[in-house]
């Protein structure tokens, strides 16, 4: 099968998320890195792209040059990944979609709800793929949980409790470090700090596993380090369309917690728990029964969990392979083949609405507000 040409914007040398995309996109032989504008520093970006195997004429100094250079090529890129800082996502994603490219955008997809609606509309109008990298939803055992919920294995879902709380910005003496500071500066980060950065992964996960959407929410935001203008800790209660109760805690000052992302789903006839630091396992407890450890790669899992597992039982795969699972389905979608689910622009839009509505709620002492984007309010 012919490999697809892949381009990357951002994710330069030393970036946090760049390596996971490169490992993920190229893991299954579907994509080859053909073009890149990898760094805010043009020369560093060109140099690094070439060291990664990109031809000199497709190692671009910035994304505008890349758009110009790629759009009229016969072998132009089939997919571009946007892995730059948040405030640039909208403009880059919009420009590439409008030029007829498929896009995988990092989260948060945009900074405002209006921008999110615009991206959804452009993706619809152009018929191009616009995916958003909610990659945790692509872990095999997360797919297993979703499948069990859909099968009714735990009955109607009553309650979801999820947290994405780490302690890596908990040192007040480090608060002025430029790599930390921007995240709590409204001029750089927008209206929300920790909720927009990590909380939206947890909220997307709740919706994904439940097969439902968040309808209303009430938020309590706190800046526990006084110099911060944006929240470094948030508790968000929510209700889903089918009545499921949600509790979400996100924090960056929870010293001692590392990645700190977990989800528990409690239904009428059972409960389940998954923790990102032990992603191969789901704990499942039927009502009145003992807790069972379900393991990636074991027999009897759903087709979806089996399809997205690569190595044998008990061998860790981990984060880059969850990202790879997003690329597997994007490759199939680009080739017009049957494919599984992947997070889309509409998920990015729902997150943006939730962020802005959580800020509004927090500013009104936790008043309950409609969490949905205006285009989905009926």
User: Which residues contribute to the site for ligand NAI (CB under 6 A)?
Assistant: 9-12, 15-18, 37-40, 62-63, 83-86, 88, 106-107, 133, 135
Closest C-alpha among 258, 293, 294 to residue 276: 258
Rg (CA), the chain: 20
Comparison of 308 and 369: residue with beta carbon closer to ligand NAI: 308
Residue 22 CB, shortest distance to ligand NAI, in Å, is 12
Residue 333 CB, shortest distance to ligand NAI, in Å, is 19
Fill in the DSSP letter of residue 196. I
Comparison of 31 and 136: residue with beta carbon closer to ligand NAI: 136
- The b/e string for 228-262 (b: 16+ C-beta within 10 A; e otherwise) is bebbbbbbbbbbbeeebebebbbbbbbeebebbbb
Comparison of 37 and 253: residue with beta carbon closer to ligand NAI: 37
Residue 62 CB, shortest distance to ligand NAI, in Å, is 6
Residue 39 CB, shortest distance to ligand NAI, in Å, is 4
Q: β-pairing, 130-132 with 102-105?
A: parallel
Closest C-alpha among 289, 285, 282 to residue 266: 285
User: Terminal CA-to-CA distance of the chain, rounded, Å?
Assistant: 45
Comparison of 45 and 170: residue with beta carbon closer to ligand NAI: 45
Residue 200 CB, shortest distance to ligand NAI, in Å, is 9
Comparison of 197 and 233: residue with beta carbon closer to ligand NAI: 197
**Helix H or strand E encompassing 333:** helix 319-334
Comparison of 115 and 301: residue with beta carbon closer to ligand NAI: 115
Distances (CA, A) of 68 to 11, 92, 122, 136: 20, 13, 19, 33
Tokens 């995240």 found at: 183
Residue 331 CB, shortest distance to ligand NAI, in Å, is 19
What does the block give as tokens for 251? 């924090």
Comparison of 39 and 317: residue with beta carbon closer to ligand NAI: 39
Q: How many residues does the chain have?
A: 378
Residue 204 CB, shortest distance to ligand NAI, in Å, is 10
- Position with the least CB separation from ligand NAI: 12
């Amino acid at each position: 099968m012919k490999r697809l040409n892949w381009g990357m914007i951002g994710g330069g040398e030393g970036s946090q998320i760049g390596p996971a995309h490169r490992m993920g996109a190229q893991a299954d032989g579907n994509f080859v890195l053909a073009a890149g504008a990898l760094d805010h520093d043009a020369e560093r970006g060109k140099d690094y792209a070439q060291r990664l195997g990109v031809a000199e004429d497709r190692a671009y100094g910035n994304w505008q040059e890349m758009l110009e250079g790629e759009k009229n090529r016969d072998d132009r890129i089939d997919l571009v990944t946007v892995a730059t800082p948040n405030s640039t996502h909208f403009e880059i994603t919009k420009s590439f979609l409008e030029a007829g490219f498929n896009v995988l955008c990092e989260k948060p997809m945009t900074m405002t709800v209006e921008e999110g609606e615009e991206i959804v509309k452009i993706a619809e109008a152009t018929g191009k793929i616009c995916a958003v990298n909610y990659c945790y939803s692509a872990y095999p055992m997360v797919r297993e949980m979703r499948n069990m919920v859909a099968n009714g294995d735990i009955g109607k879902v009553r309650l979801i409790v999820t947290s994405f709380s780490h302690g890596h910005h908990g040192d007040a003496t480090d608060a002025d470090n430029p790599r930390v500071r921007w995240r709590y500066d409204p001029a750089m980060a927008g209206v929300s700090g920790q909720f927009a950065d990590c909380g939206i992964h947890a909220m997307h996960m709740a919706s994904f596993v439940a097969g439902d959407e968040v309808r209303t929410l009430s938020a309590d935001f706190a800046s526990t380090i006084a110099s911060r203008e944006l929240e470094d800790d948030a508790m968000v209660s929510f209700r889903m369309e089918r009545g499921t109760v949600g509790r979400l805690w996100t924090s960056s000052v929870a010293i001692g917690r590392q990645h700190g992302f977990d989800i528990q789903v409690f239904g009428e006839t059972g409960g389940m728990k998954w923790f990102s630091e032990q992603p191969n396992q789901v704990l499942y407890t039927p009502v009145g029964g003992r807790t069972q450890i379900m393991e990636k790669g074991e027999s009897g899992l759903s087709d979806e969990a089996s399809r997205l597992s690569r190595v044998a039982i008990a061998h860790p795969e981990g984060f880059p392979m969850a990202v790879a699972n997003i690329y597997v389905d994007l490759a199939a979608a680009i080739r017009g083949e049957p494919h599984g689910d992947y997070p889309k622009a509409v998920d990015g839009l729902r997150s943006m609405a939730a962020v802005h509505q959580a800020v509004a709620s927090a500013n009104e002492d936790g008043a309950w507000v409609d969490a949905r984007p205006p285009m989905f309010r009926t």
